[in-house]
């Protein structure tokens, strides 16, 4: 046998043929009761609701969808102690450039699912370049509460399977491949 039989350089293997990378402890293994849940203050909720309505005027999506996204971003920002750094600017195109906030020098994009999802996965649009260092999955579990389900580094998202919804591609990262959000 030669070194060709057992290559150590895996750069030639395409992501679709590699086994999926997994964290040592998967977010899927952590009970919901142990995952951080962040309430949003009432005054902050109303401010985010107004911002979501303004965003809906500039881009597709309902005000409630945009509010759900902003609540998830706020929940994560609260959890890591950077609540004052949440981007609340309303841009003409409704976008944020693929980054919601910065924490310890890393860029974060928070993806929040609505209350209708029982076992959500992290989904990230695949038609644009991945810009954030980390992607966080949050779930809106009440009027003002969001549960932080897990996160994945950019490379995990980039190597995730591509699925399609209404002809649009997205990266699909099951909770098994997410790192748990630490409780502080």
Is residue 163 a contact partner of residue 20, using CB atoms and an 8 Å limit?
no
Question: Does residue 12 have a pLDDT over 50?
Answer: no
List, in order, residues 6 or more apart from 36 with CB less than 8 Å away.
Answer: 79, 147, 148, 181, 183
Average pLDDT score over residue span 5-32: 65
Burial class from Cβ neighbours inside 10 Å (0-12, 13-18, 19+) for residue 167 reads exposed
pLDDT bin (cut points 50, 70, 90) of residue 138 is very high
- pLDDT score, position 1: 47
Q: What is the pTM of this model?
A: 0.85
pLDDT tens column, 65-95:
999 999 999 999 999 999 988 887 777 665 6
Domain map (residue ranges) of the chain: 31-84+100-177
Average pLDDT of the residues in 123-127:
93
């Amino acid at each position: 046998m030669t070194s060709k039989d057992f290559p150590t350089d895996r750069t030639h293997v395409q992501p679709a043929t590699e086994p999926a990378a997994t964290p040592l402890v998967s977010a899927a293994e952590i009970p919901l009761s142990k995952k951080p849940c962040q309430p949003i203050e009432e005054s902050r909720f109303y401010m985010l609701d107004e911002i979501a309505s303004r965003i809906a005027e500039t881009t597709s999506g309902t005000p409630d969808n945009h509010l759900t996204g902003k609540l998830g971003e706020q929940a994560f920002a609260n959890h890591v102690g950077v609540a004052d750094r949440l981007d609340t600017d309303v841009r003409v195109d409704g976008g944020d450039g693929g980054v919601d906030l910065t924490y310890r020098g890393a860029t974060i994009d928070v993806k929040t699912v609505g209350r209708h999802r029982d076992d959500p996965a992290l989904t990230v649009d695949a038609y644009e370049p991945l810009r954030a260092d980390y992607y966080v999955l949050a779930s809106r579990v009440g009027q003002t509460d969001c549960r932080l389900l897990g996160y994945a580094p950019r490379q995990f998202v980039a190597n995730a399977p591509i699925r399609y919804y209404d002809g649009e591609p997205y990266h699909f990262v099951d909770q098994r491949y997410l790192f748990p959000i630490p409780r502080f």
